[in-house]
């Protein structure tokens, strides 16, 4: 666990209704991220740590959510495959994709899971608008789309009404890597900010995510 952000995200601190905003500059192994989230969620539930949004990238992997079907993994030897406790089906994570792990206490936010997921979608739609991309929801599917192509996926889990896992936004990944799965169970094309000719500098993407967050969740990240 040599990544400094992992120590920050799992560290216990006095409970407070505040939001910790963490950005990891180096790729974080998936299993390390899950272990860190587990510790942080327990601390939030015990009122021993503030809520947290953690922005990071993973090495190239496929993850299987709780609804993933084996036949949706089309290239099982292409990348490591991790079984995940999050909702949803198969997805790809890798370089050029901004993953946002959102650890919020829904016990203090109305205990409405559907509203929370819609809030995540609206957050991403708002951030994309700031980057010059018009995105939308699709009826019957979770995530964010540009036209018919998916640009962001969402998969969450709750423990003691604290959320973890979250969303992934395609900034500049190798989109060919999605061909090894049926993304989220739908044979839907995928796209990225790079494919759309939009902004791909990760610091600018992070700034848009930060500025859009308060509009969806009523709480601004701390100033960096």
Which of 98, 125, 115, 113 shows the shortest CA–CA distance to 205?
98
For residue 224, what pLDDT is reported?
Answer: 56
**Helices (H), strands (E): how many in the chain?**
4, 10
For residue 185, what pLDDT is reported?
Answer: 58
The structure tokens listed for 117 are 């997921």
Provide Rg for the chain, Cα atoms.
16
The structure tokens listed for 187 are 């044979």
Count of Cβ atoms closer than 10 Å to residue 75 Cβ: 12
For residue 184, what pLDDT is reported?
Answer: 63
| Helical residues (DSSP H) of the chain, grouped into ranges | 4-10, 30-45, 113-130, 202-217
For residue 4, what pLDDT is reported?
Answer: 47
For residue 90, what pLDDT is reported?
Answer: 87
87: DSSP letter: S
User: Between β-strands 97-103 and 51-56, what pairing exists: parallel, antiparallel or unpaired?
Assistant: antiparallel
Q: pLDDT digit string (tens) for 22-39? A: 999 999 999 999 999 999
The structure tokens listed for 192 are 């990225």
d(CA 92, CA 79): 9
Catalytic residues: 184
The single residue listed with the structure tokens 């860190």 is 36
**CATH code of domain 58-216:** 3.30.930.10
Low-confidence ranges of the chain (pLDDT < 50): 1-2, 4, 7-8, 10-16
153: DSSP letter: E
Q: Where are the domains of the chain?
A: 58-216
For residue 47, what pLDDT is reported?
Answer: 94
Which of 13, 4, 37 shows the shortest CA–CA distance to 104?
37
pTM of the model: 0.89
């Amino acid at each position: 666990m040599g990544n400094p952000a992992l120590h920050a995200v799992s560290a216990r601190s006095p409970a407070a209704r505040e939001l910790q905003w963490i950005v990891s500059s180096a790729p974080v192994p998936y299993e390390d991220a899950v272990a860190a989230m587990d510790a942080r969620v327990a601390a939030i539930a015990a009122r021993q740590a503030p809520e947290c949004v953690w922005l990071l990238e993973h090495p190239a992997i496929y993850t299987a959510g709780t609804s993933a079907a084996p036949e949706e993994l089309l290239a099982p030897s292409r990348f490591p495959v991790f079984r995940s406790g999050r909702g949803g089906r198969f997805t790809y994570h890798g370089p050029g994709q901004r993953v946002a792990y959102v650890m919020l206490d829904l016990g203090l936010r109305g205990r409405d899971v559907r509203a929370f997921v819609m809030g995540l979608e609206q957050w991403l739609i708002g951030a994309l608008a700031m980057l010059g991309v018009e995105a939308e929801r699709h009826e019957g599917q979770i995530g964010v789309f540009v036209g018919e192509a998916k640009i962001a996926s969402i998969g969450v889990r709750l423990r003691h009404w604290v959320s973890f896992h979250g969303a992934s936004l395609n900034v500049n990944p190798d989109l060919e890597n999605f061909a090894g799965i049926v993304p989220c169970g739908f044979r839907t094309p995928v796209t990225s900010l790079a494919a759309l000719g939009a902004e791909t500098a990760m610091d600018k993407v992070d700034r848009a995510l930060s500025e859009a967050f308060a509009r969806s969740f009523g709480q601004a990240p701390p100033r960096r």
